[in-house]
Amino acid sequence: MKAIKCLQTKDDGSKCGAWAQSGKNFCLMHDPEMKEDHKLICQKGGQTPKKNFTPLAPIFLDDPSDVVNLLADTINKVRTGDLDLRVANCIGYLSGHLIKAFEIAEIERRIEVIERAVLKK
């Protein structure tokens, strides 16, 4: 079956332009059979319940090994279904930045040691 555009004509006389639903002549928005459903969808827009998750206790991440432990714990919680995937993704993303910050801090520390040694000579 060939895909067609919605047959609805707008108030300004132009055609809707959206693709029609499979086997129908109208898009979801203009389908006369879906008028009540469309009304409910519009009323509920943005009001869908978000998956709630239990806030996690703060932890101290003082060195890269703490981040490794955090990631291992996060992976295990995702595998058992105890942690919302959005939270796990956020932890993974921020952990990457934290590891990079640890690396930069270590490089700066090493440069400082080298500079002091050079200045003493």
Kindly report, residue by residue over 50-66, the tens digit of the pLDDT: 556 678 889 999 999 99
* CA–CA dist 95, 108 (Å, integer): 20
As a whole number of Å, the end-to-end CA separation of the chain is: 83
pLDDT at 47 over 70: no
User: Is the pTM here over 0.85, yes or no?
Assistant: no
CA distance 15 to 13: 7
- Dmax over Cα atoms in the chain, in whole Å? 87
Instruction: Output 73 or 13, whichever has higher pLDDT.
Output: 73
Average pLDDT over residues 104-116: 96
State the pLDDT at residue 94. 97
